[in-house]
Structure formats: C-alpha cells, structure tokens
Structure 1
Amino acid sequence: MKDMVQFGIRIRRLRQQNKYSLRELGERSGVSYSFINSIENNRFSPSRETVIALADALNSADKDELLLLAGFAPTEEEALDGPLGASHAVDVDDPEISLFFKDFKNAPKERRDEMLRFWHFIQEQQKTRNPDSEQ
C-alpha cells in the first residue's frame, strides 16, 4: 500500500543517517537533488527505478521496505540483491494481491523471506499455467 508521506520521511532519515546532502545523494543515485527534495516533501511519487536507485545509494536502506512504502511489491531477486526485474513490478493497490502484502512491511525479516518465497512460487506456477485451465 502506498504511503508516500512515510516514504519521504524514510528517505530523509536515511539520507541524514548517511550524512549525505541532497546533492550528494543525487550524485550517488543518479536522481536529481531537486527531485529527491520533492520526494522528501511529498510533492512527487518516484518510479520503481528511482526507488531502487535511492535504496542502492543509501547505506543500510532496506530496498524491500522502500519499494513497499512507494507502492511497489518487491521480487525475490531484489530481496536477495540479485538482478533487477522491472517486468516483475506489481501494483500493491491491486485488490487481488493487496491482502498478501498488507502486513509485509511490518513483518520480521524471516516472515518476509517466507512470504517472498511463496510469492515466487505463485509467479512460477502462473508461468506454466495453461490459460484454459482452472486455477
């Protein structure tokens, strides 16, 4: 579920913890410092790629947490810091999956890992499913 106010607050806190100025974070992430300022002040919503770039630039940032706050579901590959798969982007506001991710951001790491494995299993099953078969 999108929580852009909390997302902006979290980005600002992480930036300050890393002792980065807006310009420094902009240089490290490839995101303009003025856009980062707008995100921190809840004026703009970032794209999935922007969230990932910011998470990668901020030491100690939890990419999954930031993706969820911005309204994107993480993939197993991202949770394991593997290759990015933008094609796996999922809109958490979608009612069919929102229940699955409702408590995700507050779950302990072990539980999130378990949920991600289950989500990955579902995605794999969908790939091999015949369109005419029942679920």
Structure 2
Amino acid sequence: MKDMVQFGIRIRHLRQQNNFSLRELGERSGVSYSFINSIENNRFNPSRETVIALADALRSADKDDLLLLAGFAPTEEEALDGPFGLSGSEVDDPEVSLFFKDFKNAPKERRDEMLRFWNFIKEQQMTRKPDSQQ
C-alpha cells in the first residue's frame, strides 16, 4: 500500500539515524538533496530507482520495506528468490516451505498481497514487548 507521508517520515528518520545531512545523503545516493527534501516533506513521489538508491545509501534501511511503503513491489527476480531472503528449499518447517512455494507460483497481485501481510507481521513483531505473548 502506497503511503508517501509515512515514506517521507521514514526517509527522514533513517537519514537522521545515520547522522546524514540532506547533502550527504544526496552524495551517497546520487539523488539531489533538494529532491530528498521534497520527498521528506511529501511534495514529490520518488521513482522505484530513487527508492532503491536511497535504501542502498541508508545503512539501516530495509529496501523491500521502503519499496512497499512507496507503492512498489520487489522485482520479479527478488520475489522468486523469496521475499525474506530465503528460498523455500532452505526452510526446515514444511508449512513455511509451502508458503514459499505458494508465493513463487502466485500471480503478481497475490504476491504483493502476501508481501504486505508479511511486512505487517514483521512490524507487529518489532513493536511487541519481549515478555508479551504472541
């Protein structure tokens, strides 16, 4: 789901977390600092290539999360490798392996939906307190 306001907020947060000025992030990413400022302030929507360049320049950024937030899905090649950096053959749990198999064979719209759901679960896990039950 495209959420450009949250995307701009996330880019600003990651930039500040890395202690980069707008100009420094611009130099590292190859994206003009004024365009990055416009993205952070929700004046312009970046292209897929711009999102990837920013993610590569920001050390703590998850490229797939940023792509999804900006309304882009991973490339076909990335999707077929598995949305989580693993292929189905590398997973010991049969149910998880089935998920990867289903993902690989699903139409693009279904893969996008599966990726959004997976990222929702990841986000919930990151905000969960260590002592709370799932």
Q: Which residue of 1 aligns with 2:39?
A: 39
Judge conservation of contact 2:68–2:116 (CA < 8 Å) in 1. Answer: no
Q: Which residue of 1 aligns with 2:54?
A: 54
Give the TM-score taking structure 2 as reference length: 0.63
Percent of paired sites with the same residue: 75
Offset of residue 57 of structure 1: 0.2
**Mapping for residues 11-22 of structure 1, pairs under 5 Å:** 11-22=11-22
Name the SS of the counterpart of 1:12 in structure 2.
helix
In 2, Cα distance between equivalents of 1:79 and 1:63:
11
For each residue in 1:42-73, what CA deviation from the matched residue of structure 2 results, as whole angstroms up to 9, or x when unmatched? 11110000000000000110001000000011
2:120 aligned with 1:106? yes
Runs of 5+ in structure 2 lacking a partner?
86-107, 124-134
Q: Which residue of 2 aligns with 1:72?
A: 72
Name the SS of the counterpart of 1:108 in structure 2.
helix
RMSD, matched Cα: 2.2
Judge conservation of contact 1:64–1:79 (CA < 8 Å) in 2. Answer: no
1:57 to 1:47, Cα distance in 2 relative to 1, 3 A:
same
Name the SS of the counterpart of 1:61 in structure 2.
coil
Judge conservation of contact 1:14–1:58 (CA < 8 Å) in 2. Answer: yes
Judge conservation of contact 1:22–1:37 (CA < 8 Å) in 2. Answer: yes
- Give the letter aligned to residue 47 of structure 2: S
Offset of residue 99 of structure 1: 3.4
- Give the letter aligned to residue 8 of structure 2: G
Judge conservation of contact 1:22–1:36 (CA < 8 Å) in 2. Answer: yes
Offset of residue 79 of structure 1: 5.9
In 1, Cα distance between equivalents of 2:118 and 2:68:
8
Give the TM-score taking structure 1 as reference length: 0.63
Name the SS of the counterpart of 1:34 in structure 2.
helix
